[in-house]
């Protein structure tokens, strides 16, 4: 991939992360974008959000209209799960957030770190409105 289009793709990814932070804040969450390198060995999510006793860690994917599926590999899923391990006082949610066609699709991931596929148009299995505000 040429450097220019790779930079452009990263810019859109960063923008999607910032949009997710703003969206979560509108829904009453405290949320932060965690600027990291994808190659980081630390298990850090793209976005972290807290509301009441719920803590959500997000892997954020942005797709153009021609690519409406995001596949998250085992390593990325496992990093979300590893990040959340120390937060046993919270109800933790590892979530893949797909931004496509100007809307969000959320898919929680489960133990085992299996690859996860999220498709635009699928029903989300998590929303920021579901969590109880304490």
* Cα 109 to Cα 96: distance, rounded to the nearest angstrom: 7
Res 117: pLDDT? 86
Question: pLDDT (tens digit, 9 = 90+) per residue, 75-132?
Answer: 889 999 999 999 999 999 999 999 988 889 999 997 776 778 888 888 999 999 865 5
Evaluate whether 105 touches 69 at the Cβ level (below 8 Å). Answer: no
Question: pLDDT (tens digit, 9 = 90+) per residue, 32-51?
Answer: 999 876 566 788 999 999 99
Is residue 129 assigned to a domain? no
Is residue 107 assigned to a domain? yes
Is residue 124 assigned to a domain? no
CATH label of the domain that carries residue 83: 3.40.1350.10
Band of pLDDT at residue 70, cut at 50, 70 and 90: confident
Overall pTM > 0.75:
yes
Evaluate whether 59 touches 96 at the Cβ level (below 8 Å). Answer: yes
């Amino acid at each position: 991939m040429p450097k220019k289009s790779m930079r452009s793709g990263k810019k859109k990814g960063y923008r999607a992360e910032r949009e997710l932070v703003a969206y979560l804040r509108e829904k009453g969450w405290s949320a932060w974008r965690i600027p990291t390198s994808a190659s980081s060995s630390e298990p850090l999510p793209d976005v972290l959000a807290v509301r009441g006793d719920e803590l959500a860690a997000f892997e954020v994917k942005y797709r153009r209209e021609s690519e409406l599926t995001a596949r998250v590999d085992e390593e990325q899923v496992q990093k979300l799960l590893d990040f959340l391990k120390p937060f046993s006082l919270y109800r933790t949610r590892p979530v893949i957030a797909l931004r496509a066609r100007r809307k969000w699709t959320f898919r929680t991931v489960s133990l085992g770190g299996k690859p996860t596929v999220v498709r635009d148009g699928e029903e989300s299995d998590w929303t920021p409105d579901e969590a109880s505000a304490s």
